Structures are given as C-alpha cells and as structure tokens.
Amino acid sequence: MRPTRRGTDTLGLRIDLRPESGFVHYLLAELAANPDTLRQRSTLNETTLVEIVLRRNTHEGVFRPVQDADARGCFEKDAPGPIVRCRIFVPCRAS
C-alpha cells in the first residue's frame, strides 16, 4: 500500500477562455470552494456535475459599417465601444 497523504483544503475550477479581448470576447471564469462548502456539497464516492454557462461579451461597433475600412474590410484600428448586453432570442410560438 502507498503511504497516507494529506488531503487538500480547497478545490477550485478556473476556465481561461479565448479570445480575451477585442470586439467579442469572454472573461476569466473562476470558482473556489473552502472546506466547509466541500463537506456540504459532496459525499464519498459521489460524482459532481458542474454546469458552466458562459456569457460572451459583445462590444458596440461589431455590426457597424466603417467608412475608412480597406478593401478587405479590415477594422483592426477601430477601438471597441462599450459592452452591449443582447437579449436572448426566444422564438415566438405559433397560435
């Protein structure tokens, strides 16, 4: 048998998403749990499912036509505007 090892005091999850900047990007997602939370939420021989929902940040200017764009439509020199919160599209039900 292998020797006993000391357990961990914390457990965490970190998601580094790409892209991190630009007109459309994601932010770092991080979750940390302390020992009390771990004891409350888990038991021995149990599988834990973590559902991750990511929000994409879209900046103003993504769909705006630019007059000074080159022939390729490049807009690398334009700075992103403020973040625009788009509503989630829900299709209408047929009557």
Render pLDDT for 35-51 as a digit per residue (tens, 0 to 9). 888 778 778 888 888 88
The sign of the torsion formed by the CA atoms of 27, 66, 82, 87 equals negative
Is 53 part of any domain?
Answer: yes
Tell me if the bond preceding 19 is cis, omega within 30° of 0.
yes
pTM of structure: 0.51
Is 94 part of any domain?
Answer: no
Is 27 part of any domain?
Answer: yes
Q: How many domains does the chain have?
A: 1
Is 39 part of any domain?
Answer: yes
Is 2 part of any domain?
Answer: no
Residue 52 makes CB contacts below 8 A (sequence gap 6+) with: 15, 29
Render pLDDT for 3-23 as a digit per residue (tens, 0 to 9). 988 877 778 888 888 888 888
Rounded to whole angstroms, the Cα distance separating 13 from 4 reads: 25
Q: Which domain holds residue 79?
A: 7-89
